[in-house]
Structure 1
Amino acid sequence: MELIRMVRIVLWSFFGVRKSAAHEDDFANVNFSWLPLVAVGLAALIAACILGVVLLVAHSTGTAQGF
């Protein structure tokens, strides 16, 4: 359950819109030693998804042009 809470905190921080009261409630009950690892892992996952979409689009357009 704590992992889900940390993932939610990190995703909200990536999005950048958060009420102050909810922010304070989340940080009152979180283990700060694991939070940076969760943030780096989610950033890598998002980057891998974006890279995968870009490679998929670039590959499909490259074959459509006959190269």
Structure 2
Amino acid sequence: MNKKKVLQILVPALIIVVIAGLYIQKNFLSQSNDVQLSGTSMPLSPEYDLDEWLSQGKPVFIEFGTDS
């Protein structure tokens, strides 16, 4: 077989294999949709220590708006 005919067979086959691999990886190998949180979330109650949160060096977002 000449080189051109081999490339005409291998290139589409390689593209199909790559597409199939991406499909399998996306749909079957990444089944864990559970997000692991660090557990240091801001409490929902109004009682919290802002100085403690600022001392940890993490970014703190303070919203002064209303719920409407």
> If the length of structure 2 is used for normalisation, what is the TM-score?
0.40
Query: TM-score when scaled to structure 1?
Result: 0.41
Which one has the bigger helix percentage? 1
Structure with bigger RCO (C-alpha 8 Å, 6+ apart):
1
